Structure 1
């Protein structure tokens, strides 16, 4: 068999199989798209004129517990990459181990933080050992998919945006060696914003740049750094992500097209980040922290060319017209649009208080001092990764409660099951009412999402991370419940003593409704006007968080997660419940702001 010549960067233009090749790429994350829709999204990518799929690989999903790997079903990376090949797409793989991606802890598993001395993204021995074991498994999955094995993967990225971190001069060489020593021989790339280009590279690896506007000379800067090498924008930001309590970011199609046209006119290869964003289902959203902690919303619509539900947008139509100029043959016909249904509202039939649900959690843990989530002896001693943790102790007086900013990230505070307020990064003090005798003081602490980018990555332990003071005295004697709301827990709730109706005497609580679907299910959007803050589960699937402060005012419910006939909807609600659940056939993104009008520093 003749040796195939893969993607090469030996001159000012890429070559593939010895011929000039322009990368026209788009990012679609398999872990953000229901598996039943992988083919739909990739066919739409192909019909837009793109020739290359890029995807991250989320370590935290593939190794949820140390040494226990999952590459099945929704996480079947091999099937996803193979599907791309069947559809005629090349693949650039971005395996991390850190991926950023507006994903909890940038894709790093939370059990790494059990080590109090952990230094993420360095050659610290504890991190190196974990990465080596993960790459042993990951490379065994992806190596048969490489171009040299007649697979579609033509390039592999070394880590991600390390120039913005760059605290260990040996780290990038270590990650490069992780790939090459395990037999990855395809072209290796790095990816950084223009400020990170200077210190994010590694010897023998092609640099690429991430950007949204050209006014800062990033492409010329990259060209000067790598003369006689092909130029590529690895992440052309087609929109932007959203955080709770702010506006929905939009990037107008005409502004985007002007920049992409100029990039292509310069002969530069491009990858659209995102081509299709999808959803950060479950508790997987990340957060930003540039002095202020801001958790991201569930939707990863990103104002991308394909919407969260896979709709064609005006951006898609303009890009299809543009990219068609770079093909000698007509583009494939655009796939048909999938039907959506605004189902009739459904009524809440029964409820179960949080306190009555605790019998279905793992055995509570007793500790004199508070213990952060990651240190709890649950999940085969891998700690708790996501969701809520309930801390309870007893008090004999009221007074001033001070968190000392040790709540991560937000706590509802209860005295004898009655909510008396909340604590978070902004609110550190709370007045507790006086009362007679011993009373139960409870803290329901939510991990709202670990920071995925920036200097705060090592400080992402969640729950209660230090002492809380009542009248200047540290609280002691805690009972701690892991309320991580895994599918097994939601299933166990079914055997609880649910009470009829929608009026729960004490929030928080779980509220259940039934959606009857006649015929084949369709995509829809759940709307919750009259509700406060919480999480929505449909047939055991965690759709993500809802919060009345917006901007996101809906949750995407994919048709494949519904079934013909009866469907169970369970809402965990913290603050305010309504009597019904509503549906819509189109999303409501809330208030908008043009990302192109924001200061450049806010989107780095």
Structure 2
């Protein structure tokens, strides 16, 4: 008897769910969610446990509750938990079950989004890099049994961790998501049914399942037994967002499962913000209509290490800070948006709810300037090479992230030649005998470097950095390094270079600390090491504005990537990663720093951009001349939001596509805004935009906002191209020109206006041009 009692006590200690009330339930009612049979409005805060140091998890949960939230929403990150096939890690920083228990400890419910795909501006959208070792891999599809099998295995592993915490078991998980925004990728209902069944088989067999998509595409497929929710951003017209949804699902509860509080930052682009007024306005509209929501993000945090992703097309990598202009700042600091949310939601609490006290912010310290006195030149610290005949991507060498060096010998020539790299992913420096002769950037589509006359055989080195795998759309199959070939262009001959030595530089601290540091100067790419003393610890922001491009390790913790182009010039340092006494800092800089000093600031620098003129879509003196061109379509769009479809009178063929906005819907409105543009092929479907490139835009706003012309095909409906709105506003007409990458037959196009409450720049009159040769500029 005593043994039985002891066993029960042990189980109570080890498994919190046993101490909770069983028999609870959460599900769908008539136009509302039901918690134990009573109407329940979800006010959720999205938090990402890998972007928050474990020691701060509870603080961020408590801040979310104090802001007025009753639920925490989380993604699971497959590639975090299974970094090698069949090796699962749910311990320490990865202990998601402990995170869920902390949510329950603080009296909140939990929504779990296990993927397999999550997006989240996270490397490969959460899919593991090792899938790419399979040459013909297909993802998010039933076409590849390997992907489906691996998905089921991961979901099963996730279920072992979290299925016991379903509300029906006495836990706090009220809903589990099936996949993520799938309609933005495909429409295969059978695939979604397979993922749904795998989620159930993983043990999530009691909880309410749901899926999320956009108001423009949610009806691409249906999924029985799964609730449907919508995602949209700050400033949206709420009635318009749910109009079509309510026509199809008239009795379903309404929920915005991702209400975008801000937006994410790209390297080299302006810091993204969303105003408090537009954000709060739409949130109040939802509260007045009793629409459940999840703030994405309530607190963004930091994409430490290698985890920041990228968008494509066009390729654009994410900054390390995931501040997101969210109500709770990157460091856990309380912002104006936080107080605005709290003051709003106090008027909309569910029965029996009260706002909790706001927890204190974490201490912030400054660190005086110190020097990194030691250095280790990269070329003097090469690991053992691997030899291959033809060039191969990083993944073929069992390397997931970091840098990779390709080395071969090129033969002499009495004439200048060019090196052409096909599919460089993502940023590279080309060296001849250790001397840099050119830099290549995937963002610009760079692929060529001129080489001088060579009188003897010469060593060629190409050092490539992976700046984040694409996390969205069809470009998600994004192998790193050089993924196809390197050629010498000699006159009219293209000669593929072979017989390579390959050196791998992974991101693990255990690799970096092997470098042989000395006090002598280092030229070219190098590691730098320094120490500093602290009497007290606290959060700080490491100022790396004088450094070039690379990665930082503090006391063995990978703080993430830095890049002098901004907008981010500091790296967040959690105080729990600092020590009283001696601290070590290691910086790998692929360029040469302006100085070898660093300091800790009390405030971040997230909005200092060093613009790259080569990314502008209009060069000095350029003016598009359409005077001798014949339009393939001319017309006027009706007013209002939503996609506008145009079918040409007859098909048109060409490579260069020009859209010209002649006027806006508002009289005397000089602006043009375009959220998305799709070109329709002969099969009636949008053609792939992966090869598209903006070659001209008469005007674009890149100072007041990140509204460059490439936003017209970035597949993000909440971002848009906008003609210049700061300073002098140029008048109509406004044009952009796309190089489609190849000759294309079109039968029409689709235009999507901006989706927020504003109407400025919505296009009225337009002309379309398509031709085989470039337009005259």
Partner of 1:380: none
2:422 counterpart (385, 401, 405): 405
1:568 aligned to which of 577, 581, 584: 584
Q: Distance in 1 between matches of 2:418 and 2:86?
A: 41
Structure 1 position 428 matched with structure 2 position 452: no
> In terms of mean alpha carbon deviation, does 111-120 or 391-400 score higher?
391-400
* Secondary structure at 2:131 match in 1: helix
Aligned partner of residue 351 in structure 1, secondary structure: strand
Note the C-alpha offset of 1:345. 0.6
1:33 aligned to 52, 57, 75, which one? 52
* Separation of aligned partners in 2, 1:555 and 1:230: 41
Using the TM superposition, give the Cα deviation of residue 594 of structure 1 relative to its aligned residue in structure 2, in angstroms.
5.1
Q: Which residue of 2 aligns with 1:139?
A: 159
Q: Which 10-residue stretch deviates more, 159-168 or 564-573?
A: 159-168
Partner of 1:392: 407
* Residues 173-223 of structure 1: per-residue CA shift (max 9 Å, x gap): 001000112331200010112122112541221000000143381222222
Deviates more, 1:182-191 or 1:227-236: 182-191
Residues 515-547 of structure 1, C-alpha deviation per residue, up to 9 Å, x if partnerless? Answer: 21113x110001123221111111111111111
Equivalent runs, 1:50-89 vs 2, <5 Å:
50-89=69-108
Cα distance change on mapping 1:329 and 1:172 into 2, 3 Å: closer
Match of 1:375 among 391, 396, 418: 396
Q: Shift in Å at residue 456 of structure 1?
A: 1.2
Aligned counterparts of 2:242 and 2:66: Cα–Cα separation in 1? 28
RMSD value, Cα: 1.9
Distance in 1 of aligned mates of 2:377 and 2:237: 55
Contact 2:189 2:222 in 1 (8 A): no
Deviation for aligned residue 1:331: 1.3
Match in the other structure for 1:151:
171
Aligned residue in 1 for 2:719: 603
Which of 381, 395, 414 is the equivalent residue of 2:431?
Answer: 414
Q: Give 2:256's match in structure 1, choosing from 233, 244, 254.
A: 233
Q: Partners of 2:256 and 2:597 in 1: how far apart?
A: 47
Q: Aligned in 2, Cα 1:602/1:444: closer, same or farther, shift over 3 Å?
A: farther
CA distance in 1, matches of 2:165, 2:405: 44
Deviates more, 1:532-541 or 1:394-403: 394-403
Say whether 1:331 aligns with 2:355.
yes
Quote the Cα distance in structure 2 between the aligned partners of 1:107 and 1:271.
Answer: 20
Distance 1:466 1:354, change over 3 A: same
Larger Rg: 2
Deviations 1:310-347 (A, max 9, x none): 00000000100111112355411111122111110111
Q: Deviations over 1:115-142 (max 9, x none)?
A: 1111100112010111122122111111
1:475 match: 497
Match of 1:511 in 2: 528
- Alpha-carbon distance between aligned partners in 1 of 2:280 and 2:353, rounded to the nearest angstrom: 22
Asked if the contact 2:157–2:202 (Cα under 8 Å) also holds between the matched residues in 1, the reply is no
Runs of 4+ in structure 1 over 6 Å off: 595-600
Give the Cα–Cα distance (whole angstroms) in 2 for the partners of residues 167 and 484 of structure 1: 37
TM-score (norm 2): 0.73
| CA offsets 1:497-526 (integer angstroms, 9 cap, x no match) | x2215x31x21000111121113x110001
- Counterpart residue number, 2:367: 343
The alpha carbon displacement at 1:593 in A equals 4.1
Per the TM alignment, residue 364 of structure 1 is displaced from its structure 2 partner at its CA by 2.2
The answer as to whether partners of 1:25 and 1:52 remain within 8 angstroms in 2 is yes
* Higher RCO (CA-CA < 8 Å; seq separation 6+): 1
Match of 2:606 among 589, 595, 599: 589
Query: In 1, distance between residues paired with 2:256 and 2:545?
Result: 41
Q: 1:298 aligns with which of 299, 302, 320?
A: 320
**How far does residue 101 in structure 1 lie from its aligned partner after superposition?**
0.2
List runs of 5+ in structure 1 lacking aligned partners: 377-382
Confirm whether residue 285 of structure 1 aligns to residue 308 of structure 2: yes
Write the distance in 2 (CA, Å) between the matches of 1:524 and 1:32. 16
Distance 2:375 2:218 in 1: 54
Tell me the residue number matched to 2:681: none
Q: Aligned to 2:211, which of 185, 190, 196?
A: 190
- Secondary structure of the equivalent of 2:79? helix
**Structure 2 counterpart SS, 1:46:** helix
How does the TM-score come out when normalised to structure 1?
0.94
Partner of 2:483: 465
Selected match of 1:161 from 158, 181, 201: 181
Q: In the alignment, is the contact (CA less than 8 A) between 1:102 and 1:452 conserved in 2? A: yes
Number of the residue aligned with 2:379? 355
The CA distance in 1 between the partners of 2:59 and 2:202, in whole Å, is: 33
Residues 145-167 of structure 1: per-residue CA shift (max 9 Å, x gap): 11122111110000000011115
Q: How much does 1:289 deviate?
A: 0.9
How big is the shift at 1:385? 1.1
Q: Structure 2: which 5+ residue stretches go unaligned?
A: 1-17, 609-702, 721-777
67 and 562 in structure 1: CA distance in 2 versus 1, 3 angstrom threshold? same
Give 3-state SS (helix, strand or coil) of 1:235's partner: strand
State whether residues 114 and 155 of structure 2, in contact with CA within 8 Å, keep that contact through their aligned partners in structure 1: no
CA spacing shift, 1:189–1:581, aligned 2, 3 Å: same
